[in-house]
Amino acid sequence: MTPQLQGQVAIITGAGSGIGRATALLFAQEGARLVLGDKTDAVQATAQAVIEAGGEAVAMQIDAGLEPDVVALVQAAKTHYGRLDIAFANAGISGGRASVFDATPALWSEVLRVNLIGPWLMIKHAGQAMVDAGQGGSIVCTASVAGIRSGAGGAPYSASKAGVINLVMVSAQQLSESGVRVNALCPGLTETGMTKPTFDYAKDKGVSHKLGRLNPLRRAGQPQELAQVALFLASQQSSYVNGQAIAVDGGLSSSHPVTRQLPGQTAV
Catalytic: 201?
no
pTM for this model (two decimals) = 0.90
pLDDT one-digit tens code per residue, 71-125: 999 999 999 999 999 999 999 999 988 889 999 999 999 999 999 999 999 999 9
pLDDT in the model for residue 268 = 44
Q: Please tell us whether the domain made up of 9-191+222-249 is placed in CATH 3.40.50.720.
A: yes
Q: How far apart are CA 110 and CA 112, in angstroms?
A: 5
pLDDT in the model for residue 248 = 96
pLDDT in the model for residue 265 = 52
Instruction: Count Cβ atoms within 10 A of the Cβ of residue 122 and give its class: 0-12 exposed, 13-18 middle, 19 or more buried.
Output: buried
Residue 38 amino acid letter: D
* Mean pLDDT in residue range 135-144: 98
* Mean pLDDT in residue range 214-220: 82
pLDDT in the model for residue 267 = 46
pLDDT in the model for residue 219 = 84
pLDDT one-digit tens code per residue, 6-39: 999 999 999 999 999 999 999 999 999 999 999 9
pLDDT in the model for residue 76 = 98
